[in-house]
Chains A and B, each alone.
Chain A
Amino acid sequence: MIPEIGHFALVLALVLALIQSFFPLVGAQKGIASWVAIAKPVARLQLVFTALSFAFLTWSFLQSDFSVLYVATNSNTSLPTLYKVSGVWGAHEGSLLFWALTLSVWTTAVTLFGRSIPPIMMARVLGILGLLSVGFLMFMLFTSNPFDRLMPPPMEGKDLNPLLQDPGLALHPPLLYMGYVGFAIPFAFAIAAMLGGRLDAAWARWSRPWTQVAWVSLTLGIALGSWWAYYELGWGGWWFWDPVENASFMPWLAGTALMHSLAVTEKRGAFKAWTVLLAIFAFSLSLLGMFLVRSGVLTSVHAFASDPARGMFILMFLVTVVGGSLALYAVRASKVRSYVRFDLVSKESALLLNNVILVVACAAVLLGTLYPLLLDALNLGKISVGPPYFNAVFIPLTAPLVVLMGIGAMARWKRDSLENLWPKVRVSLVASVVFGVLYPIVVMQRFDWLAAVGMVLAFWVLFTTLKATKDQARGRGLGGLSLSHWGMVFGHIGIAFFIVGITLTSVYSTEKDLRLEVGESYEMGGYAFTFNGSTHLQGPNYSGDRGEVVITQNGEQITVLHPEKRNYRSGMPMTEAGIDAGLTRDLFVALGEPLGTEGAWSLRLYHKPYVRWIWLGALIMSLGGLLSAADKRYRVRARRTVAEKSPVGATV
């Protein structure tokens, strides 16, 4: 009975979403106040039913109700409770329900926090979000119903993909989805502004905090996925340019550009059409990612079960949403004139250049991801575009971006000059070159050009950000700075940390694959790794081997690591690396293969300096995003707008 109620709740949610989109949108266009007024309550009611549906699916998982096909294929009784719950969004159908739920939650949040937004604008925004809900719910009900029954029910369910049985990965998809779906909010604001015919700074101000929160979720989601790949796959790598990784990275790049562009539109009224386009891009790329992953057109480890019928539905959805909004853009944006002038040397120019680079980088990733598909579809052969392409394109593109970050933070709005900027950056420039070159020599004790360039860039970002903060704080003290400024500071310093992480890890990592007998030692990077043999391991739904490696430095024991090799019931072998994490280095041990009968194993040892800084950088960036979103400016201006608010009829 429970699954049927869940299914029914989903149908009701669809009906409510239809109401939520039709009446407010038409009402706003025709000026019917009562139709506009129902937007908020209907949107909230839609959340209630979507949440109910989600709760019932979760319940079916917790009860191990294998008469539900989706539960039977993604869960079993021996699965720990955490993974029963994360199994809800572990595969196609349930993750779609999670998308729909997240969209509802975001929509309701807009109704709660957006009190200052004029009712007509709010009605349009909720109407557009409602249309998106209609798309997701129809997709689910027509092609991927998570409540489909399986008769007769099997005694036991299949195993959840062992790759997903990890706390990091239980959280990775929800964060990503929150980010993807979160970009629907600036998208809806941009479309609503175009529908209203008023592309002013107001929509930018309303959508900024939402964009930042969505960006934070996406950043954390991607970082979590990368961290997981690092410790779970046992290759010591943290980014593979896999098509599905790219699918999450493209909205991130577009979203980063959008955040910066929104700032210009809000503060200076410039880039109006461009910002709208970026808002469309960020969400469109999220949908595109969904299409690429779920239609089966690309091959990847992440791929969901492929089904051309589903692919066709998403494609129709994609064409409606993206095609529709770009058509609206084409009609409206040609009429937008920016009367705001700015000089070649100004904050606006720096931010514009930042946007251009980010969009070009994003296009390069898109090309690399789709190129194999294009060739394949035209029967020109199958190819695999791998890290060499992406590294060759991406690194030269992003280095100037980093240089620009320092200048952009320092430059004045509207008009600045090189004569004025030079004294401000002079000290930072010299200091970053000195520190950047010395760091590899003094701290890492081996000079390397690549490391020096990376460190110079990282120090440059750090020093210019500090200098910009010092200049800003002049006369009002650090406490007088806005949260939004602190957001910039943390966002940029996060990037500096990230650069340190990737540079030092890729230059100074050492790895060794070797055979170790029981009791044998190997010395690497100043540490001695002693292998103490392996024992048999029996987990709830896997069996395997567990090795013991003692690590000592100068005779003192640092740590004991226990790398594991697991065989899951589904037949999938998994490596659980033993990692001793540290701020300046990770020691990483993975079990290879058992060799011979004496208990010897092949082992993979890694010494990875500063690898943590990659994820630490992402965390700091995210903190920046949150600080910025919490800026009281949005609330203060909000209150002022309430006071100025005109009656519904007058705005139409």
Chain B
Amino acid sequence: MSKSRAFIPLLAFLALAGLFYFVLMKMGKGEYNPRDIPTEFIGRPAPSIDLPNLLDENDRVKSSDYAGKVWLVNVWGTWCPECWKEHEYLMHLSRQGVPILGIDWRDEKADAIDFLKQKGNPFVEVGFDPNSDAAIDWGVYGAPETFLIDAEGIVREKHAGALYPQVWQEKFAKYFHAQKPTE
């Protein structure tokens, strides 16, 4: 074996380790969190949504219908495994009466309808957003992302990544205590 070839695995590994170091440093400084990216929209009025309704071609999903309520926007797609994982918990929340507006992002219409039929529909309404119209307005990085909008129409919280009970308790639950008992 030639001398230089024997060094290839080492060099490849060092490059990989360099990437990990870079990521960890960014995480350590708080510049990067794979689970959560701060959004500029927190504390600002929610961008308006006007999308075709996934389940009803003649209807449109509008954010103005939610004025005066505390509600969630959940960005999802059938192509995203994390969305599958959080789905059961979203069902649980919707049974508790939490209103969730879904944005089906960069997805195939038939797949999305199938998914909701098979696994249940936790959303009050689902806007279909194949061209990222709403997603760009909301500054969405990836799916799933969940936003909380208060009764004044201000974005209060955002979570990137699947929604689990712990995250719910830490960030979202407090906004609903005033309205209704969770659990």
The chain A residues found within 8 Å of chain B, CB to CB, are: 235, 240-242, 273, 277, 280, 284, 291, 295-299, 301, 306, 308-309, 311-312, 315, 318-319, 322-323, 326-327, 329-331, 333-334, 336, 370, 373-374, 376-377, 381-384, 386-388, 511, 513, 567, 570-573, 575, 592-593, 602, 604
Contact = CB atoms under 8 A, between A and B. Distances in A.
B19 interface: yes
A404 B17 CA distance: 35
- Interface of chain B, main secondary structure: helix
A513 B27 contact: no
A570 B34 contact: no
Contact of A297 (B10, B27, B117, B160): B27
Contacts of B95: 593
22 contacts: A241-B81, A291-B20, A295-B24, A297-B20, A297-B24, A298-B34, A299-B82, A301-B162, A315-B24, A323-B14, A330-B7, A376-B32, A376-B34, A377-B19, A382-B142, A387-B81, A513-B119, A571-B168, A573-B92, A593-B91, A593-B95, A602-B120
Contacts of B5: 334
A381 B17 contact: no
Contacts of A511: 118
A284 B95 CA distance: 45
B22, B95, B165 pick with most chain A CB within 10 angstroms:
B165
Nearest to A594: B95
A7 B145 CA distance: 42
Interface of B: 1-3, 5-7, 9-10, 13-14, 16-17, 19-24, 26-28, 32, 34-35, 37, 79-82, 84-85, 88-89, 91-92, 95, 117-120, 141-143, 160-162, 164-165, 168-169, 183
Q: Which of A336, A373, A376 has the most CB of B within 10 A?
A: A376
A240 B10 contact: no
B97 to A, nearest CB: 14
B10 A323 contact: yes
Given A297-B34, A377-B23, A571-B183, A384 B81 contact: yes
The 10 closest A-B pairs by CB, nearest first: A382-B142, A326-B10, A334-B6, A571-B165, A308-B27, A334-B3, A308-B28, A330-B7, A330-B6, A333-B6
Nearest to B20: A315
Contacts of B142: 381-384
Nearest to A331: B6
A384 B89 contact: no
Contacts of B20: 291, 295, 297, 311, 315, 318
Contacts of B26: 377
A604 B118 contact: yes
Given A323-B17, A384-B79, A377 B22 contact: yes
- In this complex, which of B7, B81, B164, B183 has the most chain A Cβ atoms within 10 angstroms of its Cβ? B81
A498 to B, nearest CB: 23
Contacts of B117: 513
B34, B91, B143 — most chain A CB neighbours (10 Å): B34
Given A384-B79, A384-B143, A573-B92, A312 B10 contact: no
Nearest to A324: B10
Contacts of B119: 513
B23 A297 contact: yes
Given A308-B28, A377-B26, A382-B160, A322 B13 contact: yes
Given A373-B23, A381-B141, A323 B13 contact: yes
A299 B161 contact: yes
A318 B88 contact: no
Contacts of B168: 571
Contacts of A573: 88-89, 91-92
Contact of B34 (A280, A299, A333, A386): A299
A306 B32 CA distance: 13
Nearest to B12: A326
A374 B3 contact: no
Nearest to A567: B92
B48 to A, nearest CB: 24
Contacts of A277: 9
A334 B27 contact: no
B1 to A, nearest CB: 6
A575 to B, nearest CB: 7
Contacts of B85: 301
A384 B162 CA distance: 12
> Which of B3, B9, B20, B117 neighbours the largest number of chain A CB atoms within 10 Å of its CB?
B20
Given A273-B1, A299-B35, 19 more contacts: A296-B34, A297-B20, A297-B34, A298-B34, A308-B24, A309-B28, A318-B17, A334-B1, A377-B19, A377-B22, A377-B32, A381-B141, A382-B142, A384-B81, A386-B81, A387-B81, A513-B117, A571-B169, A573-B92
Contacts of B7: 330
A365 to B, nearest CB: 14
Contacts of A592: 120
B14 to A, nearest CB: 7
A15 to B, nearest CB: 29
A555 to B, nearest CB: 30
A291 B183 CA distance: 36
A593 B87 CA distance: 13
A176 B3 CA distance: 36
A68 B183 CA distance: 28
A288 B119 CA distance: 34
Nearest to A298: B34
A384 B26 CA distance: 21
B24 A312 contact: yes
A308 B30 CA distance: 10
A333 B3 CA distance: 8
Contacts of A319: 17
A336 B34 contact: no
Contacts of B118: 511, 513, 604
